[in-house]
Amino acid sequence: MSQITASKATEGGSMRSYTTGFIVSIGLTIAAYLLVSQNILTGWGLVYAILGLAVIQLFAQLFFFLHLGRGPNRKWNFVTLILMLIIVFIVVAGSLWIMHNLNYHMSPQQMNLYMRQQDGGI
């Protein structure tokens, strides 16, 4: 009993959770690799598929390797994780959205003209 409580703050998973996480991660990695190397999907379908596999692997590793949802700090670990995911979403999706719009509204001719003006006619 004392052995269990003594290691409570630093407790992790079991052999089983690490092995499961390892096998799941290898499977997901190989699956994503095969989707690309065998040309099974193309275009946006492929992008969504491999990004989906990466996100599944993220949660598999958070659960099996980082033991999210266990340990004494599980509540605050989870809260900071959610906050981080929100900020990451805003940074990544916002940047892509804004830059895509800039590209869309600026034709190559306008861009060349602008760059020539800025560079002093190079």
Partner 1 sequence: MEDTAAMRPPSLKEERQEADSKTIFGFWVYIMTDCVLFASLFATYAVLRHNTVGGPGAKELFSLHYALTETLLLLTSSFTCGLAILAARSRDKDKVLFWLGVTFLMGFGFLGLELHEFHNLAVSGNSWRRNGFLSAFYTLVGTHGLHITTGLLWMGTMMIRVAGSGLGRINIRRLTLLSLFWHFLDIVWIFIFTIVYLMGGAGV
Q: What is the binding site for partner 1 (CB under 8 A)?
A: 5-15, 18-19, 21-22, 25-26, 29, 32-33, 35-37, 42-44, 46-47, 50-51, 53-54, 57-58, 61-62, 65-66, 71-73, 76-77, 80-81, 83-84, 87-88, 91-92, 94-96, 99
Judged by beta carbon, residue 91 or residue 113, the one nearer partner 1 is 91
And the tokens for 29? 């990695």
Minimum gap (Å) between residue 61 Cβ and partner 1: 5
What one-character DSSP code corresponds to residue 19?
Answer: H
Task: Give the three-class secondary structure for 92.
Answer: helix
- Taking CA atoms, 110 is separated from 51, 56, 97, in Å, by 34, 42, 20
